[in-house]
């Protein structure tokens, strides 16, 4: 009997017009530091206790990579891309000149190889943050789909109010999203 070798199926993922944003945080407890690397518009926010208050203030650890930011727009335009806002649309988007694609609402992404031809880059920004254990209460990372409907300040205070009850928090976010859709 001949042994048959199993052929591995090659899986191919077309990243031409598909990609992602990413925010990564490394917390070094002993050093009391956060190291943050990010690409795109998945925002990280630090919830900081206000002087004895029950409310937190929000400190944005990342800056959204949006195509209408001056430096980002300059890079895109010099690479042959076009930045515009379509009628009835909310964000500025990146397009190939005289085309209606890829239509990315961010200026940096991992993947989206067609976007890389017109100035979309995957180069992350980095920051280092010193942590004060008495003041710095939580870190929240969410995609732009959340930040479109809630401010950083509201988000950290809702999470702080609901504690570690993830089911309640998810339910709350879904309900807020549904309320925004009705507006």
pLDDT tens by residue, the chain, 183 residues? 556 666 667 777 788 888 999 999 999 999 999 999 999 999 999 999 988 788 999 999 999 999 999 999 999 999 999 999 999 888 999 999 999 999 999 999 999 999 999 999 999 999 999 999 999 999 999 998 888 888 999 999 988 988 778 888 788 778 877 877 775
φ/ψ of 48, rounded to 5, equals -115, 130
Residue 4 forms part of a structural domain: no
Q: Is the pTM of this model over 0.85?
A: no
Tokens of 181: 């859709």
Residue 6 forms part of a structural domain: no
Residue 11 forms part of a structural domain: no
CB neighbour burial string for 121-138, b if at least 16 within 10 angstroms, e if fewer: bbebeeeebebeeeebeb
Q: What's the domain range around 108?
A: 19-182
Residue 5 forms part of a structural domain: no
Distances from the Cα of 42 to the Cαs of 9, 45, 143, in angstroms?
33, 10, 4
pLDDT of 41: 95
CB neighbour burial string for 140-157, b if at least 16 within 10 angstroms, e if fewer: bbbebebbebbebeebbb
Residue 2 forms part of a structural domain: no
pLDDT of 7: 65
For the chain, the domain total comes to 1
Residue 75 forms part of a structural domain: yes
CATH of the domain at 108: 3.60.40.10
CA dist., res. 143 & res. 154, Å (int): 15
């Amino acid at each position: 009997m001949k042994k048959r070798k199993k052929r591995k199926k090659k899986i191919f993922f077309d990243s031409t017009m598909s990609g992602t944003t990413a925010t990564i945080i490394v917390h070094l407890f002993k050093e009391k530091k956060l190291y943050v690397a990010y690409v795109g518009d998945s925002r990280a926010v630090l919830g900081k206790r206000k002087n004895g208050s029950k409310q937190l203030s929000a400190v944005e650890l990342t800056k959204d990579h949006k195509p209408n930011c001056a430096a980002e727009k300059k890079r895109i335009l010099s690479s042959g891309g076009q930045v515009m806002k379509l009628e009835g649309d909310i964000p500025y988007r990146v397009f190939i000149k005289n085309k209606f694609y890829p239509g990315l609402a961010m200026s940096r992404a991992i993947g989206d190889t067609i976007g890389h031809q017109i100035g979309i880059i995957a180069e992350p920004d980095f920051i280092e943050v010193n942590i004060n254990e008495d003041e710095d209460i939580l870190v929240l990372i969410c995609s732009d789909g959340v930040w479109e409907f809630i401010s950083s300040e509201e988000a950290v205070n809702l999470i702080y109010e609901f504690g570690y009850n993830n089911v309640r928090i998810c339910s709350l976010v879904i309900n807020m999203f549904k309320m925004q859709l009705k507006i």
